[in-house]
Chains A and B, each alone.
Chain A
Amino acid sequence: MITLDRVSMRFGGLVAVDDVSLEIHGGRITGLIGPNGAGKTTLFNMIAGRLLPSSGHIVLEGRDITKLPVHERSHMGLARTFQIPQEFGRLTVLENLMVAGNGEKGDSVFNAAFRHRNYRAEEEEIYHRARETLDFLELQKLSEAKAGTLSGGQKKLLELGRALMGNPRIILLDEIGAGINRTLLVRIAEMIARLNVERGLSFCLIEHDLAYVQRLCSDVIVMAEGRVLTRGTVEEVRRDERVIEAYFGGGKYEERA
């Protein structure tokens, strides 16, 4: 579904992502793990289009999207959530979802000013979709609340809902579980699994909690120091000594000591 071909990202002297080639398969939930500073979020940002790679190519369903603007990737069915929630703070929860519904007619300024009948049907469809998404997220009661006033966990749910509103084929989840309580964590995991099974939606998620990754992902990519270290099931990568070394620092320091 998404293919990375020798992708690198350099910030000045720092090589955040170093010559990475990999494939994210459609229909699966792929996990992306690795210690802090491994280049996971940088990789996400390049796939989503927020960063332009220093070199290499990114292909989404056969099309080279390396230089495609973010919004056009979104139209191609690529959605994402952010590590720190980036809600539209002064819009209501319902509006946050409706904005992401991507109505073409409603986003025309001419229709907005002179022909509001033109977008009414489309708007109604988006409205009902947003209501369904609120039901799915169990956020109905907060539909009229300003998104900026939500709790951290609710914002995470809203991020997921917003990603869903664009009818994507793959969603990149950047630490959707970070900083939220256990109950909600389990609920979100159930949602992701359901979306994957029922709608055939693909996910790629960055996560630190290995138990969480094990629960969801059949396929795990391990990154360290900007490179792909290994790939396989959670059991396989757990047994890999290089992974243990990368996570627990080990190696180099002990040798020197």
Chain B
Amino acid sequence: MELSGLAFYFVGFLIAGGIYAILCLALNIQWGMGGLFNAGIAGFFAVGAYASAIVTAASSNGKHLGGFALPVPLGLLAAALVAGITGWAVAKVCVRLKSDYLAMASIGIAEILRLVIVNEQWLTNGSLGIANIPRPFEGLVRGREADLLFMAVIWLIVIAVYVLCARLNNSPWGRTLRAIRDNEDSARAVGKDVEWFRLQTFVIGAALMGIAGALSASYFKFLSPAATEPLLVTFLVWVMLMAGGSGNPKGAIAGALLIWGIWSATEIFTNRLPGEWATRSSYVRMLLVGLLLQFVLQRYRQGLIPEKSPKLEFERK
């Protein structure tokens, strides 16, 4: 069976959309539930991507660390671990900061991580990047069917992450987190260890961002410092969460697909512009997405699917 061009495009759309959905769910834990303003998403994403690439890529040509050719699931595990540990270290230093200061600190940290990735050639092969990063179940099928299979894997992971997020959101733990977000002093006064909850939140979010990074590296089979570009990761993911509905895991996925859809559609549009405009297209699109965010924030402040308090099983009838 031959897939038509349009369906093929759609598969590619859903793969990237799924990776964004994971990032968005991760940010929803940190910001939507925990109120932690992480403006360094790209940093954790890149750390995860490199961790996975280093342990799973088949060879490193002796130029940098890696070439262990481990199976992809171990790559994902490594991504979650290394990104989680990075998140832990960052949180240890930064979670006491109020939201706007945390935002500044996290931008700085993402920049440090980017510089490390660009300059530490023994580790990351610098700007030459790492090639031959495997996908899960590679070799089972070839060509376009391989993309289809990868899409299925991605969405299985999205579903797993969604179930995790929904459980966290509906649990007393999630309720405590939302309470801390709303009023830190009161949360302390009713007996909550605010720093401990924030540390956990930051680490879980960072680990999930790392997994998204690893999947992205697998998808492109190649990884270079361009992956640390904040425009395509940090900025877009924030727009997605705001549009979808901060504080609601369903909203996070809806926002990821919606904004990624608009982003992809504007690419079709800007490609038809005359030459001198097309070269500036990425900035034009950024402008459009920025305008869209303005519109969403003015008209639908809570996003498409607003936050909702979870139902209690034993609620009186």
Contact = CB atoms under 8 A, between A and B. Distances in A.
A21 interface: no
Given A90-B182, A91-B178, A111 B194 contact: no
B172 A70 contact: no
A106 interface: yes
A50 to B, nearest CB: 7
Contacts of A112: 167-168, 171-174
A100 B164 CA distance: 24
Given A109-B200, A112-B167, A103 B185 contact: no
A88 interface: yes
B139 interface: no
Contact of A127 (B164, B168, B247, B314): B314
A102 B200 CA distance: 18
A116 B173 CA distance: 11
A124 B172 contact: no
B169 to A, nearest CB: 9
Contacts of B185: 50, 82, 86
Given A106-B171, A116-B171, A88 B193 contact: no
Which of B173, B174, B307 counts the most chain A CB atoms within 10 A?
B173
B178 A90 contact: yes
Interface stretch (A71-79, A176-184, A227-235): A71-79
A99 B190 contact: yes
Nearest to B163: A113
A12 to B, nearest CB: 22
A42 interface: no
Size class of A's contact patch?
35 or more
Contacts of A131: 316
Nearest to A124: B314
A89 B167 contact: no
B63 interface: no
A117 B55 CA distance: 37
A98 interface: yes
A92 interface: yes
A249 interface: no
A48 B173 contact: no
B172 A107 contact: yes
A131 B312 CA distance: 13
Interface string B35-74: 0000000000000000000000000000000000000000
Contacts of A82: 185-186, 189
A113 B164 contact: yes
B203 to A, nearest CB: 10
A98 B307 contact: no
Given A71-B193, A75-B191, A92 B309 contact: yes
A87 B164 contact: no
Contacts of B204: 109
B191 A71 contact: yes
Contacts of B172: 98-99, 103, 106-107, 112, 119, 123, 126
Interface string A148-177: 000000000000001101100000000000
Given A74-B189, A100-B190, A109 B173 contact: yes
B196 to A, nearest CB: 9
B183 A166 contact: no
A108 interface: yes
B74 to A, nearest CB: 21
A47 to B, nearest CB: 12
B95 interface: no
Interface string B228-251: 000000000000000000010000
B188 interface: yes
Contacts of A92: 309
B201 to A, nearest CB: 9
A95 interface: yes
A51 to B, nearest CB: 12
Contact of B312 (A50, A96, A127, A166): A127
Contacts of A165: 190
Which of B164, B176, B204 counts the most chain A CB atoms within 10 A?
B176
A99 B307 contact: no
A146 to B, nearest CB: 8
A251 interface: no
A69 interface: yes
B227 interface: no
B192 interface: yes
B194 A99 contact: no
Given A86-B185, A92-B309, A74 B191 contact: yes
7 contacts: A82-B185, A87-B182, A89-B183, A113-B168, A123-B172, A124-B314, A166-B190
Interface of A: 48-50, 69-71, 74-75, 79-80, 82, 86-92, 95-96, 98-100, 102-103, 106-109, 111-113, 116, 119-120, 123-124, 126-127, 131, 144, 162-163, 165-166
